[in-house]
Chain A
Amino acid sequence: MIKSFLVGSLLLFISTVVILLGLGVYSDIQDFSSYNWSFFGITVFRYESLQPDGHLLNFGVGIIAIALIGGATNAGLRSLFTRMESRT
C-alpha cells in the first residue's frame, strides 16, 4: 500500500512537471499572455510571458497536492484490487 502510494505520487509528480513544461512551450509558441492556475487557492502553475520573447514558469505547492491525491487514488485502487482478488 505504501509502495503504491509513493510510486503513484512520484510518477504523477514527474508527469505533471513534464506536461506543464510542454504547456509552457506551447503557450510561448502561441504567444499567450501570462496566466495563473490555482487549485482551492493553492497555486499549481504560473506562466509568465516575457517580452520581447521567452517565458518563465513557476511551479506552486499545488503540484505536490496533485501528487498526493494521485498517490492516495493509486493506493485506494490497490486496496480495491486486493479485496477483489481475495474474494475470487
Chain B
Amino acid sequence: MIRPESIPHWPKGVQLREKDITDHSLKAKHEITEISGELLRHVDGKRSIQTIVSECATKHGWPEEHVLSDFLELISNLNHHYLINIQTPFHWTTFFKDRLIALFVLLRTLQGPKWETKERKTASHQSQWASLWQMIRVVTMVYGAYAIGIAFVTGILSFLLPVGGLHIPLLTAGSFLTGMIVHEYLHVWTFQKMTSRQFEVIIAIRRKAVQIVRPRADRKTEFWTSLSGPGIPVLTAFILIPLLFIVPAGELQFAIGCMAATQIVHLLSLMPFAEDGKRIIESIKPTPLPIERKKSV
C-alpha cells in the first residue's frame, strides 16, 4: 500500500518532462497537468510523499491535507500503470499491516489499485547470467508464497498416502519455482536474442504475478517469444508423464507426478484466452499484426 512515508522513484526508461511523462522503453507519452508536474519534479528517490507535499504546500501556499490525498492518488495511478516505483521504509508495524492487507486483497474484501503496489524493472542487458539471476530473484520473491503453499499441500498428501518424507514437498516446490523462472526467463531471452537486444524488456511485478512487457515485433519473433516461455515447461511435463507409467508405484512415482503437475499448468498459458496463446494465434493469423497496421497507415 502506498503511504505518506513511501518514497517514490522513477524506474529506468521513464522520464518526467515539461508537460508529460515519457516512457522511452515502450515509446509512450502520458500527459500531466501543471500542478502534477510541479509535485512530480520533486521525486528524486530520497524524499517521501509527505516531504514533497509539505515542501510544495509551503512554497505555493496550498492546503497540505488536500494536496496530500490528491498526490497519493496521483502516485497510486502512476504506479498502477508501472510509471513510478515505490519504496516504503521497513517497519514491523507496516510489515504486519501489509500482510493483513494482502490477505484481505486475496479474499477480495479490499478491492482497487490503492491496495496494491506494483514495481517495474528493466531486464538486465549486461549478460545472460545477470538476466537469469535477476529473474530468479524476482520469481522467488513473487511466487515464493505459492511455493510454500504447494510444499504444504504436497507434504500433507505424502503423509496421507504415505509416500516418502520431507524431500517430496521440497522437490515439488522447487520444481514449481524452476518452471516459473524458466517460463519468464525464456520470454526475455528469446526476445532479446531475436531482436539482437535492440529493445528494452520490462519486468512488470504485481502482487503474486510477473509479466514480461515488451514492444511488438515481427511475426516470427512474436511466435517464438510467446511459445518459448511455456513451451519448455510443457515439454518437460510431456517427458515426465510417460515416466509415471514406467517407474514402479511408490515414492519415485509420486515425486514425478508432483513435478509433472507443476509443469503441466504452463499449458494454460498456451490456451487462446491467455496472453501467450493470444499472441501465438495473432502471429500465425493472416490478418496484420498491430505493428504492421501502424506501418501501413
Contact = CB atoms under 8 A, between A and B. Distances in A.
Interface of A: 3-4, 7-8, 11, 18, 21-22, 24-25, 74, 77-78, 81
B109 A74 contact: yes
Contacts, number: 35
A21 B160 contact: yes
A8 B153 contact: no
A18 B182 CA distance: 29
A71 B108 CA distance: 11
B156 A7 contact: no
Query: Most chain-A Cβ atoms within 10 A of its Cβ — which of B111, B152, B160?
Result: B160
Contacts of A78: 108-111
B35 interface: no
A25 B159 contact: yes
Contact of A81 (B109, B152, B153): B109
Contacts of B160: 21, 24-25
B235 interface: no
Contacts of A77: 104, 109
A3 B108 contact: yes
A81 B110 CA distance: 7
A34 B233 CA distance: 44
B106 interface: yes
Nearest to B159: A25
Contacts of B107: 4, 7-8, 11, 74
Interface string B109-136: 1110000000000000000000000000
A15 to B, nearest CB: 10
Interface residues of B, number: 12
Nearest to A5: B108
A4 B109 contact: yes
B271 to A, nearest CB: 22
Contacts of A8: 107-109
Contacts of B110: 78, 81
18 contacts: A3-B108, A4-B107, A4-B108, A4-B109, A7-B108, A11-B106, A18-B153, A18-B156, A21-B160, A24-B160, A25-B159, A25-B160, A74-B108, A77-B104, A77-B109, A78-B108, A78-B109, A81-B110
A22 to B, nearest CB: 6
B109 A25 contact: no
Given A8-B109, A81-B110, 15 more contacts: A3-B108, A4-B109, A7-B108, A8-B108, A18-B156, A21-B156, A21-B160, A22-B156, A25-B156, A74-B107, A74-B109, A77-B104, A78-B108, A78-B109, A78-B110
Nearest to A21: B156
B185 to A, nearest CB: 30
Interface string B152-189: 11001001100000000000000000000000000000
Contacts of A18: 152-153, 156
B163 to A, nearest CB: 13
A21 B154 CA distance: 12
Contacts of A24: 160
Interface in B51-107: 104, 106-107
Nearest to A14: B153
A21 B111 CA distance: 31
Smallest CB-CB A-B distances: 7 pairs? A7-B108, A4-B108, A77-B109, A25-B159, A3-B108, A78-B109, A21-B156
